[in-house]
Amino acid sequence: GENVEQHPSTLSVQEGDSAVIKCTYSDSASNYFPWYKQELGKGPQLIIDIRSNVGEKKDQRIAVTLNKTAKHFSLHITETQPEDSAVYFCAAPEGSARQLTFGSGTQLTVLP
């Protein structure tokens, strides 16, 4: 099955700085890599995803990069704001199955 590792587990940055969260996966057949943001007391929400046919995708201040050879993908948040503070999860599917395996999460704190 798929194994997803996520680093770091906690990350503190100053407002306006960039934040980077990294994940590695084990199943080379995986073809879809989403990122979720979970605010306190709420369910995770999809914020960006990337398919395996592209190496980078950007949506305003957030971007995701994918290196299929190395089997890792990263979330980049630029110009961080206090409202970016949350737990972020990466995920990868079990090969062609519809079930996602999640990373262990990163608590991002943006300091004002």
Partner 1 sequence: SQTIHQWPATLVQPVGSPLSLECTVEGTSNPNLYWYRQAAGRGLQLLFYSIGIDQISSEVPQNLSASRPQDRQFILSSKKLLLSDSGFYLCAWTGNIFAEAFFGQGTRLTVV
Query: Which residues form the interface with partner 1 (CB under 8 A)?
Result: 9, 31-32, 34, 36, 41-46, 49, 51, 87, 89, 91, 93, 97-100, 102, 104-105, 107
The phi and psi torsions of 49 (rounded to 5 degrees) equal -145, 165
Return the number of the residue (86 or 110) whose C-beta is nearest partner 1: 86
What is the rounded (10 degree) CA torsion for 105, 71, 46, 3? Answer: -50
Strands 86-93, 106-111: pairing kind: antiparallel
User: Where does residue 98 fall: left (phi above 0), alpha (psi -120 to 50 degrees), or beta otherwise?
Assistant: alpha
Return the number of the residue (46 or 111) whose C-beta is nearest partner 1: 46
Min dist CB 68 to partner 1, Å, is 15
Return the number of the residue (16 or 104) whose C-beta is nearest partner 1: 104
Min dist CB 79 to partner 1, Å, is 26
Return the number of the residue (78 or 102) whose C-beta is nearest partner 1: 102
Sign of the C-alpha dihedral computed for residues 1, 100, 22 and 38 taken in this order: negative
Min dist CB 36 to partner 1, Å, is 8
